[in-house]
Amino acid sequence: MSNLQLQLHSPPSLLSSSSLSSSSSSSSYLKLFPNQSFSSKSLPFRNPKPFTLRCRHSDLFDQNALASTQRPTRPTASVGALPPRVYVGYSIYKGKAALTLTPRPPEFAPLDSGAYKVSKEGYVLLQFAPAVGMRQYDWNRKQVFSLSVGEMGSVISLGARESCEFFHDPLKGKSDEGKVRKVLKLEPLPDGSGHFFNLSVQNKLVNVDENIFIPITKAELAVLSSTFNFIMPYLLGWHTFANSIKPDDYSGTNNANPRYGGDYEWNR
């Protein structure tokens, strides 16, 4: 880099000034001469006052850097982060019992390719609690029944005079198979105004034999059916699949696996 010579020319009236400022109204100016050495002898007055020369560009850069460091930061979610957990449900309270419904999401298992598959479908958990007084229910004695997607379909298609029954053995395939029996019956009310939901639980492991029933009106059954219709695709994991679709992921060559046969059908 070449050396620069700095010469300052100022009117005589400013020679006795105790300070030099760029904001002065005088006609002081700076000259820079390349390829020459700088010397204090070149100044037109004796015992020059020390001064500093600041570059505006460096100030700009410093201000930008300062602004970036002082800018408030917002917490950002990492890629693939799950949203906060939200609890929802629907409750029906009657004189003999109370019934609450809460959805349970599906479970996913990772694959070697980095993708995921549904390892367990979601379900809706039914909780029955017997009444112990006016608007009082004993939730310590509650009995639960997990309604699968297929069973929800049976409830949705249930006619006004039709009935259905579901049997569950939570210990099926285990050494205690048959010791816990759960039967949920949906039977029409005599006047045709709705259905009885009757849950019978026999648990020989803890010596429990419970029978809880609650009448469900047509309007309440319509709410259940609408809720089941909405939540079923989510319980199957279809919303996760839909959110993962990208335009370049499913070209004509990506689905050419004979196992599925979809391409062969559409390409005929």
Q: What is the pLDDT of residue 138?
A: 96
218-235 and 149-156 are packed helices; what angle lies between their axes, rounded to 10 degrees? Answer: 150
Q: Which fold has domain 90-244?
A: Transcriptional Co-activator pc4; Chain A (2.30.31)
Instruction: Output the average pLDDT for the chain.
Output: 77
Q: Which two tokens stand for residue 185?
A: 């019956």
Question: Mean of the pLDDT values across residues 200-204?
Answer: 95
Residues in the chain: 268
Residue 245 banded pLDDT, cuts 50, 70, 90: confident
Is the pTM above the cut of 0.75? Answer: no
Predicted confidence at residue 261, as pLDDT, reads 56
At 113, list the tokens.
Answer: 């390719």
Q: How high is the pLDDT of residue 212? A: 96
Domain locations along the chain: 90-244
Strands (E), the chain: 4-9, 29-34, 90-93, 97-104, 107-110, 116-120, 123-133, 136-137, 143-147, 164-168, 180-188, 194-203, 208-217
